[in-house]
Structure 1
Amino acid sequence: MNHAQLSRARAAVLSGAIALGMMSGVVACSSPDTKAVKAPGASAPAKKLTSAEKQQVKLVNLALGDSDPDDHLHDAHKLGVLVGAKRSGPLRATYNSRLKPGQAVKVDLACTGGGAVTLTVASGKSTETTEATCPDDSSFPEPLIFTADGSRVNVTVTGHGKYGAMGAVVHDLNISTAVARDLILANQARKAVPNKDQLEGFLGATSGSLREGIASSGLDVKKGQGIRIHAACAGTGSLTLSAVSGTAKSIKHVSCSIDPIGLGGILFTAAATDLEVRIERDKGASGGAAYSINNES
């Protein structure tokens, strides 16, 4: 798991979920408008947790509390949360969602205590399984995307080893799996470019899927103003970053990477009072990209 790409945990814990986790070692809950939830894992015989396991459950809850979808996934719908100690056995839940076949299910998986966990997501005739490594004394949510094959989603989280805790937050996204995976990468790219708190003269920023293209136009600038555009691409291949202001135009190719690095890709002088910035993927490229703009004058 690449910790540099993952969100740091929130400072606040979902107290109700933690309390349940400490009592029984397993938590299964859903959003109020979820039509149906069955969580056999939650009805397993209660096992008293040790002090160490309680601490591990807290770490997982902290991590999952920071796993809400980013701004791109605005139509995401939380189906439920599963949290428990590894030795309490597999966590299982069945959710009814609004998804159509081919749309995306997003599962944020977190665990701690070393070893690994296996996540299985089943929908209709489709079943996908993945395994994640658990840090020893910390926990980080790993966003995973699966394809729905029907409106019912079955989720199982199985721990390997008797020490530590595990958990997952489940969302349906109401978008295709391909676009969802791009947008997860776009979020990584967005974190790689400087934001408004890091730049003097900040003018704007945006991010999105290479598949759909990214463009901003009509940005107000001053003629003769120095402009710097920072760009990053998470994925494979490369993109073309272009900026146009009146007669001034600049183009730069930016390589994509699994570990994106923000580059001050373009520095030029505006020749008019408006600015257009565009990102287009080069042939064969896939993933997400982001840019931010600041005044260099």
Structure 2
Amino acid sequence: MNEVPSQSGADVSASISRLFVYPVKSCAGVEVAEAILTETGLEFDRAWMVVDARGDFLTQRELPRMALIRPQLKHYEMVLRAPGMLALHIKLDEVEAPVRVRVWDDEVPAYDMGAVAAQWFTDFLGTTARLVRFDPEHQRASSRKWTGDVEALNQFSDGYPLLVISEASLDQLNEKLVAAGSGAVGMERFRPNIVLGNATQAGERSELSPHDEDRLDVLQVSTDQGVAQLKPVKPCARCPVPNIDPATALSSPEVGDMLQRYRQDARVNGAMTFGMNAIVLNGVDHLLKAGQAVEANLRFD
């Protein structure tokens, strides 16, 4: 790592290069220039989820076509588009009947989004499906095994409020893929919320090394409202979703096969990992923006 000493003396200097919100769990993400930080992550992230007739969550793991459902967040509504479908408009401030749904091992209260949305998802996915919204009054906590004394809340995410990945990590993976005769892939396959890029201070460039995010302690993000603090807590174990091309919903094994070669992680019992799940320590209601400076110390444990 070619480090540029920061004024605060932090070990690592970086910047937020990209921000992503995933309004509907397992559907396409929305790249945004800025997003409000809430106690459950970025505003509207995994606020909605698609469930089957029993109320169990549906994902790209079983239904790769979900990758083709593209949300757009507007001032008062979310607009969903998919190939061959008319746009579905969902008002941000309206819900219908209360329901109980399941995401992984958690049964949580939610709100059904109505028959029109249910028919839209059923028609596109080819299986009975309904759209639900997380009940904001419910507190779904991340695992204390990884968050320690901090009660970190999330909505319909897999378990943590935020996912952080560096551009350097993707660059290394793509170098390996290309060397093996496969094509490079985009960051969208890994579904991060925050992408860390290099920083420039006093005319000098600070270069991140691949998977620096694995070794960072609290991320200090300089916002207009002060310093937001985000803490990476758990390596993100990877399922087959990164094998799915988000542009076509077609799956091929090259990405997973390559990660299996060099990213088996003893911290999660040898699972292949890419990126770090993170929690919010401070900065609720701060506005995160692409380009903001990030500093952190290295963690040795």
The normalised TM-score by structure 2 is 0.22
The answer to which structure has the higher strand fraction is 1
Q: TM-score under structure 1 normalisation?
A: 0.22
**Which has the greater radius of gyration?**
1
Considering Cα pairs closer than 8 Å and 6+ residues apart, tell me whether 1 or 2 has the greater RCO: 2
